[in-house]
Structure 1
Amino acid sequence: MALRQPLTQLTKRATTSQISKFASTPVSSLWLSKQEKGLATAVPPVTQDATSSKGPTAMVFMNMGGPSTTDEVGDFLSRLFADADLIPLGRLQNYLGPLISRRRTPKIKKQYAEIGGGSPIRKWSEHQCEEMCKILDKTSPETAPHKPYLAFRYANPLTEEMYNKLLADGFGGGRGGRAVAFTQYPQYSCSTTGSSLNELWRWRNKLEGPRAGGVDPAGAIQWSVIDRWPTHAGLVEAFAQNIEKTLATYPAERRDKVVLLFSAHSLPMSVVNRGDPYPAEVAATVYAVVQRLGMRNPYRLVWQSQVGPSAWLGAQTSDTVHNYISRGQKDLALIPIAFTSDHIETLYELDKEVIGETGLDSVKRVESLNGSKVFIEALATLAKAHLESGRACSAQMMLRCPGCTSERCAASKEFFGSQTWARADSVVG
């Protein structure tokens, strides 16, 4: 997400040595995905409990994904740097993309080795989606059974793999059926949710569009989108409960003075000025959480992972921690507010680089949502409300950024906004 403008500027004016320096930037400086540690953590098995035969409904979790093993890092980076939505390199895309990904691979492998040998994002995403579907089978029997799928942007299972699995499972291909594209970024950005939706739109056209073997549009998969949910009550509650657990580890007399640092991936100011809604939506999440906590603790929203020569949204997380400690404020709790599970930016950048370098046990990170039952219930509540709404997507999704010039983005929004979507209570068996 955050690499769009810096790399564009890099191709315009950077020297060969600057490009080389950028290519070796630590992986924690990029928003690669919602990756996490805990590879040894067992995830409970899931068995579906369909309570109706009026479905099925495919529930597709969209995310960037991450390499599950160090051997997958190279392919992951190759796909990432080939994405012009995320990293527009213009006519140099085919040259700079492979160059940067090859040069970064060895260092990134070492970083993944340090957080457990790979990203367990697939494990947690599968767990969250499957558990959500189990709940939906009971709470929304009109659209059951709900079948879980993942669509990762740069790692397996890729969007293409997911779409082909939908077809193999009986969705679309002339047979109709419904699917929900559920973004796992609570706050919308054109470079994350937008990129994933553009990829989904591309594969829909390729596999079910006018040139896809004459598939009748009426028999294609009918899509709807959960495109953002920054202030959903269940999401806020899940964050708040995890923060309260961390605050409880501080002595009672210091507890209300702990500074809460909500950390999210930054954006180049050029992207902010284009009108990307992400900063405002992250801020909305933060304010909703501190309200739920009773506004007891001082707090700030800070931004991590700045990279490249251009101006970025600040203040930076690492600088903020250093500055507060230098002023004597050593009770700090870092909260990754824009991700729903651990990933390399929490486990490596925050834990090892930011917190680890302080050497202070009073600087802590709040646990990520991961397998939180409160969070999974929130996902199910959100999905049920969406199914009952009859809406293809939010009104906000249809509004392009004021400075948007991407025709691909415009076409993708037009497609998803035009999808017909029956209310859950109107489905007949």
Structure 2
Amino acid sequence: MSVQRPLQLLTKRASPSHLQHRPRIWQPARTFATPGMVVPPVTQNNTGAKGPTAMVFMNMGGPATTDEVSGFLSRLFADADLIPLGPLQNYLGPLISRRRTPKIKKQYANIGGGSPIRKWSEYQAEEMCKILDQTNPETAPHKPYVAFRYANPLTEEMYGRLLEDGFGNGRGGRAVAFTQYPQYSCSTTGSSLNELWKWRQRMESPTRNQNLEAAEAEGSIKWSVIDRWPTHSGLIDAFAENITAALETYPKEIRDSVVLVYSAHSLPMSVVNRGDPYPAEVAATVWAVQQRLGFKNAYRLSWQSQVGPSAWLGAQTSDTVNNFVKKGQKDLVLIPIAFTSDHIETLFEIDQEVIHEANELGAEGRVRRAESLNGSPTFIKALANLASEHLANDEVCSRQMGLRCPGCKNERCLASKKFFMGQGVQNNAALTL
């Protein structure tokens, strides 16, 4: 594949414990349930002492239909946290997105007409909340929400639904921003949290919204953040299960000679050199998975979805696979290690480009991909365990949350981190720098 990757491949991958909320009349919440799913209505008499709790899954998102591609690309290229274009961002972003839209529509058409990431995100959030209602009754009911950065449902839509469903507006309530990027990057988790903070300020801050009454401002939503979880044991188990299943498709006598190629979305070197923690956290995930597998197979970590001519973190997944095949190593399992569900990077870039090119070079169908996490019961249980511990411990965020990249000059990032860290008692003495 070309070094200059198409844009569409860029899309991948609380309140304090002592806070008592006043009684409220709880109305059935509008949810993001997929067709055929029935989410029971919430009523006041099944609310725990610290409930209800909104569980907000945050991710980049993807266009669900080809008609949504244009808006998706426009928002993506407008985000300087993800694609820094300098002082010409407002001019170059719309220009590039318009030029790429026709081609990218075709790419989404090739994977079924749109990204499945919303379907999987809603399913994962709903199933996790069902478990939490059983394991953490004191914070029940747990209401699932999805907030995408560039596709529907957008962050502002999600926030409006929170208010409609009885959170905030003088009624308080707790919400957990649960990033679905297991490894933290300023370009992904950081951008999503900055967007969430922006809409919180617009909708619930009296300094930005003069229509708010004092009681409404005082009773705003109390947020906490699950901002990274690269080595959580349940996540590692889920990856290991899918890799093992992929390896079992090879004859037993060659199984241990299959090379594992872990693939994660790349970053511009300008972001890496600024001190972004993402490369180290992805590597930590890979190492933990290899430990769980017993290091039976050789492995490499590669990076995909490079965009444009500037320097990006490598080696690229396509180049890595092609070089292995050319040297005679045809038995390869590709593992999307930084994504929690299928989307354009797995269904098109890996399945239809990387593997197709490998076969053209003579791989003979021996380059395969491990299944994405999607509806894995092990993965959903991991999400629930992670959230359960976060809720039970009244956590605000991780210790790393307040520490910006050493080279960061983004004042919005600083303000966002200060806000989220100031939402409760910080037991781990995290810094905001």
**Secondary structure of 1:256 counterpart:** helix
Q: Alpha carbons of 1:205 and 1:220: their partners in 2 closer, same or farther (altered >3 Å)?
A: same
- Structure 2: gaps (5+ residues): 14-33, 428-433
1:62-73 to structure 2, matched below 5 A, reads 62-73=58-69
Kindly indicate whether residue 177 of structure 2 is the aligned counterpart of residue 185 of structure 1.
no
- Indicate conservation of the 8 Å contact 1:223/1:421, yes or no: no
Q: Which amino acid aligns with 2:238?
A: A
* Alignment equivalent of 1:107, drawn from 99, 103, 107: 103
Which residue of structure 1 aligns with residue 89 of structure 2?
93
Shift of 1:44: 6.8
* Alignment equivalent of 2:397, drawn from 393, 396, 411: 393
**Deviation digits for residues 98-136 of structure 1 (CA, Å, limit 9, x no counterpart):** 111110000000000000001121111100000000000
Which residue of structure 1 aligns with residue 134 of structure 2?
138
Which residue of structure 1 aligns with residue 280 of structure 2?
280
* Alignment equivalent of 1:372, drawn from 372, 376, 380: 376
**Secondary structure of 2:302 counterpart:** strand
Structure 2: how far apart are the matches of 1:278 and 1:271? 10
Which residue of structure 2 aligns with residue 219 of structure 1?
219
Kindly indicate whether residue 56 of structure 2 is the aligned counterpart of residue 76 of structure 1.
no
Which residue of structure 2 aligns with residue 15 of structure 1?
none
Greater Cα shift, 306-315 or 401-410: 306-315
- Indicate conservation of the 8 Å contact 1:260/1:332, yes or no: yes
**Deviation digits for residues 242-276 of structure 1 (CA, Å, limit 9, x no counterpart):** 00000001001100010000000111222111110
Greater Cα shift, 212-221 or 257-266: 212-221
- Structure 1: gaps (5+ residues): 1-20, 35-41, 424-429
Shift of 1:144: 0.1
Q: Alpha carbons of 1:49 and 1:205: their partners in 2 closer, same or farther (altered >3 Å)?
A: closer
Q: Which amino acid aligns with 1:214?
A: L
Structure 2: how far apart are the matches of 1:206 and 1:307? 33
Structure 2: how far apart are the matches of 1:270 and 1:215? 44
Kindly indicate whether residue 162 of structure 2 is the aligned counterpart of residue 166 of structure 1.
yes
Kindly indicate whether residue 25 of structure 2 is the aligned counterpart of residue 27 of structure 1.
no
Q: Alpha carbons of 1:371 and 1:46: their partners in 2 closer, same or farther (altered >3 Å)?
A: farther
Which residue of structure 1 aligns with residue 235 of structure 2?
235
- Indicate conservation of the 8 Å contact 2:122/2:146, yes or no: yes
Which residue of structure 2 aligns with residue 45 of structure 1?
37
Structure 2: how far apart are the matches of 1:115 and 1:225? 33
Shift of 1:45: 2.4
Question: TM-score normalized by structure 2?
Answer: 0.87
Q: Which amino acid aligns with 2:337?
A: I
Structure 1: how far apart are the matches of 2:330 and 2:132? 44
CA RMSD of aligned residues (A): 1.8
Which residue of structure 2 aligns with residue 383 of structure 1?
387
Which residue of structure 1 aligns with residue 145 of structure 2?
149
**Secondary structure of 1:191 counterpart:** helix
Which residue of structure 1 aligns with residue 351 of structure 2?
351
- Indicate conservation of the 8 Å contact 2:185/2:276, yes or no: yes
Shift of 1:383: 0.2
Structure 2: how far apart are the matches of 1:134 and 1:99? 44
Structure 2: how far apart are the matches of 1:215 and 1:237? 48
**Deviation digits for residues 326-380 of structure 1 (CA, Å, limit 9, x no counterpart):** 1111100000000000110111111111101222211000000000000000000
Q: How many residues align?
A: 393
Shift of 1:311: 2.2
Which residue of structure 1 aligns with residue 319 of structure 2?
319
Greater Cα shift, 297-306 or 283-292: 297-306
Shift of 1:87: 2.2
- Indicate conservation of the 8 Å contact 1:52/1:137, yes or no: no
**Secondary structure of 1:192 counterpart:** helix
**Secondary structure of 1:302 counterpart:** strand
Structure 1: how far apart are the matches of 2:292 and 2:40? 33
**Secondary structure of 1:205 counterpart:** helix
Structure 2: how far apart are the matches of 1:297 and 1:422? 41
Which residue of structure 1 aligns with residue 17 of structure 2?
none
Q: Alpha carbons of 1:27 and 1:91: their partners in 2 closer, same or farther (altered >3 Å)?
A: closer
Structure 2: how far apart are the matches of 1:45 and 1:214? 36
Which residue of structure 1 aligns with residue 414 of structure 2?
410
Question: TM-score normalized by structure 1?
Answer: 0.88
Structure 1: how far apart are the matches of 2:167 and 2:325? 55
**Secondary structure of 1:229 counterpart:** coil
Structure 1: how far apart are the matches of 2:328 and 2:272? 33
Q: Alpha carbons of 1:203 and 1:144: their partners in 2 closer, same or farther (altered >3 Å)?
A: same
- Indicate conservation of the 8 Å contact 2:73/2:97, yes or no: yes
Shift of 1:316: 1.2
Structure 2: how far apart are the matches of 1:331 and 1:88? 38
Q: Which amino acid aligns with 1:71?
A: D
Structure 2: how far apart are the matches of 1:370 and 1:416? 29
- Indicate conservation of the 8 Å contact 2:57/2:178, yes or no: yes
Which residue of structure 2 aligns with residue 123 of structure 1?
119
**Secondary structure of 1:81 counterpart:** helix
- Indicate conservation of the 8 Å contact 1:60/1:179, yes or no: yes
Shift of 1:33: 3.7
Q: Alpha carbons of 1:146 and 1:422: their partners in 2 closer, same or farther (altered >3 Å)?
A: farther
Shift of 1:305: 1.5
**Deviation digits for residues 80-99 of structure 1 (CA, Å, limit 9, x no counterpart):** 11122222333322211111
**Secondary structure of 1:220 counterpart:** coil
Which residue of structure 1 aligns with residue 28 of structure 2?
none
Structure 2: how far apart are the matches of 1:187 and 1:268? 16
Structure 2: how far apart are the matches of 1:272 and 1:160? 29
Greater Cα shift, 302-311 or 163-172: 302-311
Structure 1: how far apart are the matches of 2:295 and 2:213? 55
Shift of 1:218: 2.8
**Secondary structure of 1:198 counterpart:** helix
**Secondary structure of 1:239 counterpart:** helix
- Indicate conservation of the 8 Å contact 1:333/1:366, yes or no: yes
Structure 1: how far apart are the matches of 2:176 and 2:128? 13
**Secondary structure of 2:335 counterpart:** strand
Shift of 1:43: 7.8
- Indicate conservation of the 8 Å contact 1:181/1:225, yes or no: yes
Structure 2: how far apart are the matches of 1:371 and 1:215? 43
- Indicate conservation of the 8 Å contact 2:77/2:97, yes or no: yes
**Secondary structure of 1:125 counterpart:** helix
Structure 2: how far apart are the matches of 1:101 and 1:173? 37
